[in-house]
């Protein structure tokens, strides 16, 4: 039997890759392993995306928290600034009518309030309470919202202040360090007299005093003694220059520095300017001492200015109230009314016309070549109420010495 020919080998697949010399065929299990790892990349990508999302969300939340904290801090700081503005505004624009005793001013324990508008709806509510006759408590509640009512913040500050007014107790209706001559129908009385219609006077106790107090060694020439009620009194205090320049905690210089009106002579005719509810400041608006009558300006009744005039001055056909400081002579010509205190560096000279005064006039007589001369229709009436009202009504506020300011919350 002849041998069978060998079975022919199958033709090589033309599509099969041609083996390259040196290649080692991979075992069948390797291909299976590679196919099983195809889903890991997607899983890892998803994990990375989630982690990045968490990180970005955390960053956004942290940024939002920082923004809100900063915004809240800004609103709180603004509320503090509003409270401070309200406090300083109230004290800077102090209604000096509060200084007076009741019923025109504040009683001890009484509380007053005012609203101070700042900006963008921010306001400060300011409360004023009188603690003692000379001490007040001022509180300011500031509200700020930067235009959003849901973000409103409140802060409150306060200050304890005192009324710094001169301590002057004149020894007569007229006090002078020089000679004085009273002639004609001039009347001078040391009897305590309250100005007509002044409702605060019952709260200000006063006593009678001398009509004229002058320095020992000087003369008081009285032509008609029956028109001088209270007599004359030579007093060493009248000769002391400190009597005319030092007033307790205040001095001539401090009053000049705080003067509401500063002028230079020679002549003025002051008249009150305003309405029933307002008083318009001006160089010749020296307040309203009257309480009725033609031309009465009710809005200026509580306006007691400090007026400083550098040089001698002539006053006529007008009226005023407060403290009048004259760095020279006071020359009264024509009809003039004054309620309060006059302090002259030199002399007081009354000429023609009628002069009415409630309070006290003090003449330092620094120029010894001149003398005080009171003639004609003159009425000098000692009035504790007029002097005290002028001192209190013109007083400014100062901080108490210790712990005057603090932030309450």
* pLDDT tens per residue, range 340-358: 999 999 999 987 788 999 9
What pLDDT shows up at residue 155?
Answer: 94
Q: Please state the rounded mean pLDDT for residues 40-56.
A: 87
Identify whether 120 is part of a domain: yes
Q: Indicate whether 155 and 188 sit together in one domain.
A: no
Entry pTM: 0.79
Identify whether 63 is part of a domain: no
Q: Indicate whether 142 and 187 sit together in one domain.
A: no
Mean pLDDT, the chain, integer: 87
pLDDT at 403 over 90: no
Q: Indicate whether 96 and 220 sit together in one domain.
A: no
Identify whether 349 is part of a domain: yes
The first and second tokens of residue 29, run together, are 């299990």
Q: Indicate whether 96 and 160 sit together in one domain.
A: yes
Strand-pairing partners, residue 113, are 127
Domain count across the chain: 2
* 10 — pLDDT class (breaks 50, 70, 90): low
Residues 6+ apart with CB under 8 A from 406: 157, 158
pLDDT at 3 over 60: no
Q: Indicate whether 208 and 79 sit together in one domain.
A: no
Residues 6+ apart with CB under 8 A from 283: 261, 263
Q: Indicate whether 113 and 205 sit together in one domain.
A: no
Q: Indicate whether 226 and 266 sit together in one domain.
A: yes
What pLDDT shows up at residue 175?
Answer: 95
Q: How far is CA 251 from the centre of its chain?
A: 21
Residues 6+ apart with CB under 8 A from 322: 260, 286, 287, 303, 304, 305, 306, 307, 340, 341, 390, 393, 394
The first and second tokens of residue 334, run together, are 């024509």
Q: Indicate whether 115 and 222 sit together in one domain.
A: no
Phi first, then psi, for residue 293 (nearest 5°) are 110, 175
What pLDDT shows up at residue 164?
Answer: 85
Q: Indicate whether 161 and 177 sit together in one domain.
A: no
Q: Indicate whether 239 and 354 sit together in one domain.
A: yes
Q: Indicate whether 181 and 147 sit together in one domain.
A: no
Residues 6+ apart with CB under 8 A from 31: none
What pLDDT shows up at residue 253?
Answer: 94
Q: Please state the rounded mean pLDDT for residues 178-185.
A: 90
Tell me the CB-side half-sphere exposure of residue 10, using CA atoms within 13 A. Answer: 3
Please answer whether residues 380 and 359 qualify as being in contact, where contact means their C-beta atoms are separated by less than 8 angstroms.
Answer: no
What pLDDT shows up at residue 36?
Answer: 56
Identify whether 292 is part of a domain: yes
The first and second tokens of residue 361, run together, are 């006039």
Q: Please state the rounded mean pLDDT for residues 226-237.
A: 94
Angle at alpha carbon of residue 391, lines to 248 and 361, rounded to 5°: 90
Q: Indicate whether 353 and 253 sit together in one domain.
A: yes
* Domain span holding position 145: 72-165+397-407
């Amino acid at each position: 039997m002849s041998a069978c020919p060998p079975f022919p080998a199958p033709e090589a697949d033309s599509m099969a890759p041609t083996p390259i010399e040196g290649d080692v065929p991979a075992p069948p299990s390797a291909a299976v392993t590679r196919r099983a790892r195809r889903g890991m990349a997607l899983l890892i990508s998803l994990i990375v995306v989630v982690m990045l999302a968490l990180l970005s969300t955390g960053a956004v939340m942290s940024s939002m928290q920082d923004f809100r904290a900063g915004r809240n801090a800004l609103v709180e700081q603004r509320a503090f600034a509003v409270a401070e503005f309200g406090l300083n505004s109230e004290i800077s624009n102090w209604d000096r009518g509060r200084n007076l005793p009741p019923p025109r001013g504040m009683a001890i324990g009484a509380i007053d309030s005012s609203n101070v508008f700042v900006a963008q709806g921010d306001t400060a509510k300011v409360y004023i309470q009188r603690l003692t006759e000379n001490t007040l408590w001022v509180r300011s509640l500031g509200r700020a919202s930067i235009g959003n009512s849901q973000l409103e913040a409140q802060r409150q500050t306060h200050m304890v202040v005192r009324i710094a007014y001169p301590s002057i107790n004149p020894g007569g209706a007229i006090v002078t360090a020089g000679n004085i001559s009273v002639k004609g129908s001039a009347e001078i009385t040391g009897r305590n007299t309250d100005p007509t219609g002044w409702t605060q006077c019952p709260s200000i106790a006063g006593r009678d005093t001398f009509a004229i107090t002058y320095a020992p060694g000087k003369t008081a020439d009285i032509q008609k003694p029956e028109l001088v009620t209270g007599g004359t009194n030579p007093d060493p205090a009248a000769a002391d220059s400190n009597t005319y320049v030092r007033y307790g905690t205040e001095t001539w210089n401090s009053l000049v520095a705080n003067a509401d009106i500063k002028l230079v002579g020679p002549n003025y005719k002051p008249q009150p300017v305003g309405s029933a509810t307002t008083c318009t400041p001006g160089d010749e608006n020296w307040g309203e001492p009257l309480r009725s009558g033609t031309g009465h300006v009710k809005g200026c009744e509580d306006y007691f200015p400090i007026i400083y005039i550098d040089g001698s001055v002539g006053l006529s056909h007008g009226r005023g109230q407060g403290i009048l400081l004259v760095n020279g002579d006071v020359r009264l010509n024509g009809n003039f009314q004054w309620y309060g205190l006059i302090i002259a560096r030199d002399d007081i000279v009354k000429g023609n016309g009628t002069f009415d005064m409630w309070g006290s006039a003090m003449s330092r007589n620094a120029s010894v070549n001149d003398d005080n001369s009171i003639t004609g229709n003159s009425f000098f009436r000692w009035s504790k109420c007029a002097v005290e009202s002028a001192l209190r009504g013109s007083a400014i506020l100062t901080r108490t010495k210790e712990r005057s300011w603090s932030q309450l919350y």
